[in-house]
């Protein structure tokens, strides 16, 4: 039986940040689209989860700082870390990412990202 929307929200609300990112990306993976065109051209659509920060030290910034939540590189999952506290920038597509791991997978282009 399919859980109700309220049950889904309650269950997701109980998850730690890292668990929530993992669960959401499992769901979003089915919505990603890869298109190939004649002549070798291609286009990818990726659904991503983002964290936005707006404001600093009690003042409003001119613009928001937006980072895409990124999953750890397989085999590099920190066992005791539950928050997204590492940041990096993808060298391939330029996306800013945040992760629970020092090594993450860019949610846009799947490139490994070094985080600090």
- pLDDT the model gives residue 116: 94
Q: How confident is the prediction along the chain (116 residues), in pLDDT tens digits per residue?
A: 999 999 999 999 999 999 999 999 999 999 999 999 999 999 999 999 999 988 777 677 667 789 999 999 999 888 788 899 999 999 999 999 999 999 999 999 999 999 99
Which has the closest alpha carbon to 104: 80, 83, 73? 73
- pLDDT the model gives residue 61: 67
Three-state secondary structure call for residue 20? helix
pTM for the whole structure: 0.86
Structurally, how many domains does the chain consist of? 1
- pLDDT the model gives residue 95: 98
Residue-number span of the structural domain to which 92 is assigned: 5-114
Instruction: Name the residue with tokens 């928050």.
Output: 83
């Amino acid at each position: 039986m399919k859980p109700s929307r309220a049950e889904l929200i309650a269950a997701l609300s109980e998850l730690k940040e890292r668990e929530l990112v993992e669960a959401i990306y499992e769901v979003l993976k089915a919505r990603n689209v890869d298109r190939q065109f004649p002549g070798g051209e291609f286009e990818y659509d990726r659904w991503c989860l983002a964290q936005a920060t707006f404001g600093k030290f009690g003042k409003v910034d001119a613009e928001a700082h937006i980072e895409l939540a990124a999953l750890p590189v397989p085999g590099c999952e920190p066992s005791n870390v539950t928050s997204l506290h590492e940041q990096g920038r993808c060298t391939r597509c330029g996306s800013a990412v945040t992760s629970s791991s020092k090594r993450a997978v860019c949610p846009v282009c799947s490139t490994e990202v070094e985080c600090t």
